[in-house]
């Protein structure tokens, strides 16, 4: 636990949709230096989208997993209802998914997740929960980095040519 202070103190701040000052592999490398093997193993088990309630993770990761499970379920239910022209009232703001192209919608969904993680991290400063939150947010930034318009168009063109 006391070594968490040193690890957290050296981590650069993260901002949504900005390139982080640290990569996931560098973060995990630093974490492994400062954490006990048991804590590091627990941290490595934290995954964006992970909803396994039996997996040994921090309290924040477990709370986030429950949020993710509910959110993903409601999102699937909302999409199914929309496809079937039915009404449903999810707990998330429907503007997240009603407005914008698929990329914009995906970014809004990731921002919604980011804010949930921030909310769960309130009051945590130098513990496993803040490190779990940081790791989840790094995973969101890593996912955002994959959204490259030029690369996506190139892939689309290549795939389109193969189907002709």
pLDDT digits 0-9 by tens, 109-132: 999 999 999 999 999 999 999 999
The predicted pLDDT at position 108 comes to 97
The predicted pLDDT at position 8 comes to 95
Q: Which of 144, 158, 132 is nearest to 56 (CA)?
A: 132
For residues 41-59, average pLDDT: 82
pLDDT of residue 1 exceeding 60, the answer is no
pLDDT of residue 2 exceeding 70, the answer is no
pLDDT of residue 7 exceeding 80, the answer is yes
Per-chain mean pLDDT for the chain: 90
């Amino acid at each position: 636990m006391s070594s968490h202070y040193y690890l957290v103190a050296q981590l650069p701040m993260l901002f949504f949709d900005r390139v982080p000052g640290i990569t996931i592999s560098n973060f995990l490398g630093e974490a492994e230096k400062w954490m006990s093997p048991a804590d590091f193993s627990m941290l490595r088990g934290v995954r964006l989208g992970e909803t396994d309630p039996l997996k040994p993770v921090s309290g924040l990761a477990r709370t986030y997993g429950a949020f993710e499970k509910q959110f993903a379920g409601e999102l699937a239910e909302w999409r199914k209802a929309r496809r079937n022209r039915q009404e449903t009232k999810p707990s998330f703001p429907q503007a997240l998914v009603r407005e914008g192209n698929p990329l914009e919608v995906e970014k809004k969904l990731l921002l919604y997740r980011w804010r949930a993680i921030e909310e769960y991290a309130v009051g945590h400063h130098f513990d496993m929960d803040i490190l779990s939150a940081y790791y989840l947010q790094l995973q969101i930034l890593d996912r955002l980095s994959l959204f490259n318009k030029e690369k996506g168009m190139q892939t689309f063109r290549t795939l389109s040519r193969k189907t002709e």
